Chains A and B, each alone.
Chain A
Amino acid sequence: MSDDKLENGDYTPTVFIVDDESMVTNALEAFLGLETSYHVETFNAPHEALVRLNGSPVDVVVADFLMPEMDGIQFLREVRDQKPEVTRILLTGYADKQNAIRAINEVGLYHYLEKPWDNDHFLLIIRNAIERTKLFRDLGEKVNALETAHDSLSDIRQRLIKTFV
């Protein structure tokens, strides 16, 4: 439901999928392509995703845990440093579950998805993640609007004081 609401506007959410196995990125991309109208980008090397992250709008990043050049936790930490509002999800193999959960708590990830994954479950997590990013952005905008309002209020107050005192 939530993605319909999001997609009915002009906004198309963007999802990054990062896994060194192309069969995983291809399968997830094909699935999202079939079931949603999200803009999906896939990467088989984390550093390529980090480069692309700079200067492109992203809502959700999904990353594999075990990758050759940097592990998923390191990668998602970098993502957080660059774009704190982006919702981050970790993909884990069954055997890495314990390590992954520990790391999730350390880095504060939104969710983890266990391989082999279930497509419906994956879609649910992605939809909620997009919703979460949207809420974060909205909240940010509201806080900004409040700050601007507060600033202009204090301006008016200053002027009033100057006028009457």
Chain B
Amino acid sequence: MLFHTGLLIILAAVLVALAGMTLWYARACRRGRAEIEAAREETRGAKEELIGAARLVSLGTLVAGVTHEISTPLGAIRSNRDMLRRVVDKLEAVLSDGRVTDDEIPQVAKLAGAISGIVEVDELALERITGQVRTLRAFGCGETEDPQAYDVNQALADALTLLRHEIKNRITIERDLGDIPRIECHPAQINQVLLNILLNACQAIEGKGTIRLRSREEGGEVSVAISDSGPGIQEEKVESIFKPGFTTKSEGVGMGLGLPISLRIVEEHGGRIDVQSQPGEGTTFVVVLPVRFRGEAVPETGPAAV
């Protein structure tokens, strides 16, 4: 009897202890989960910040290029404004006596010629500035909630316009753009990917070289191949190029974020990036994107089938 009572007491004590431990364990678990959640949140924040930083870097490159491209036409327009003032002064001098004599006619004709020259140059200059601003707007377009139909060939052309200052004096562009359908994507993100890879291609080429662009559609996927005639990537380094922070560029040129972020964007679209590179034979990046966003079959918006 005494033995049974003792056993009961012990059992009760064990039960109480167990209950306490369970309570403590549950609380610890809750606390742990909250900590993990907080850490996750922090990581997500850091990732977004990194993407933002990379975006700023490519934006900085863009702005530098566009500034350079706009300064020439601006210089021409500025010179023309000064010319117009001079032409008006001369015209007023001719007209100051209220008439145009016969021997003044050649001078007036010369002034008229100068004005039409000004108009011609201004038209060219404005066209150039408008083109740069238009492509900049296309690239800077804000994030859209839903994927949109987007012409990748046009995106390539726009990216080339923005990189004109990198390209025009040393790189030949060979285009082999296929008849591809518009793809469903986040245009600003895809622009960032194309610009990153094209800029890498430009920077890989020292001195003169060639960049080949090829776009195709196959099996519901669009592929864009960008090949440069640069020195290529050593085999042991090919695996590292998508790791954040890896860069072969000199200090101040790159942060090593362009490719990791491009890969992330493309994977989030349900696509992939392939790399083919041989030292001495250049590098080809192939961006493959599904025509349908993430490869999902989007329900037809037309009249329902009967």
Contacts and interface: CB of A to CB of B under 8 A. Distances in A.
Is the A/B pair a real complex?
yes
Contacts of A67: 169
A23 B82 contact: no
A82 interface: no
Contact of B79 (A31, A66, A95): A31
Contact of A26 (B74, B110, B121): B121
Nearest to B83: A31
B43 interface: no
Contacts of A22: 124
Interface string B65-99: 00010011111101110110011001000000000
Interface stretch (B46-54, B112-120, B148-156, B261-269): B112-120
Interface in A1-59: 21-24, 26-31, 33-35
Contact of A34 (B75, B86, B124): B86
Given A30-B114, A116-B71, A117-B75, A23 B124 contact: yes
A23 B64 CA distance: 21
Nearest to B86: A34
B249 interface: no
Interface residues of B, number: 29
A119 interface: yes
B110 A33 contact: yes
A28 B90 CA distance: 18
A33 B114 contact: yes
Interface string B228-269: 000000000000000000000000000000000000000000
B76 A24 contact: yes
A25 to B, nearest CB: 10
The interface residues of chain B, by DSSP majority, are classed as: helix
Given A23-B124, A27-B121, A33-B110, A94 B71 contact: yes
Contacts, number: 69
A26 B83 contact: no
Contacts of A118: 82
Contacts of A29: 117
B86 A27 contact: no
A27 B113 CA distance: 12
Contacts of A119: 79, 82-83
Contacts of A117: 75, 79
A93 interface: yes
B79 A116 contact: yes
Given A23-B73, A93-B71, A30 B82 contact: no
A68 B75 CA distance: 20
B168 interface: yes
Contacts of B124: 22-23
A66 B169 contact: yes
A83 interface: no
Given A22-B124, A115-B75, 20 more contacts: A21-B72, A23-B73, A23-B125, A26-B120, A26-B121, A27-B76, A30-B83, A30-B118, A31-B79, A33-B114, A34-B87, A34-B111, A35-B86, A66-B169, A93-B71, A95-B64, A115-B72, A116-B71, A116-B74, A116-B75
Interface of B: 64, 68, 71-76, 78-80, 82-83, 86-87, 90, 110-111, 113-114, 117-118, 120-121, 124-125, 128, 168-169
- In the A-B complex, the 9 residue pairs with the smallest Cβ-Cβ separation, listed nearest first, are A116-B75, A30-B117, A23-B76, A27-B76, A27-B79, A23-B124, A119-B82, A115-B75, A26-B121
Interface of A: 21-24, 26-31, 33-35, 66-68, 71, 93-95, 115-119
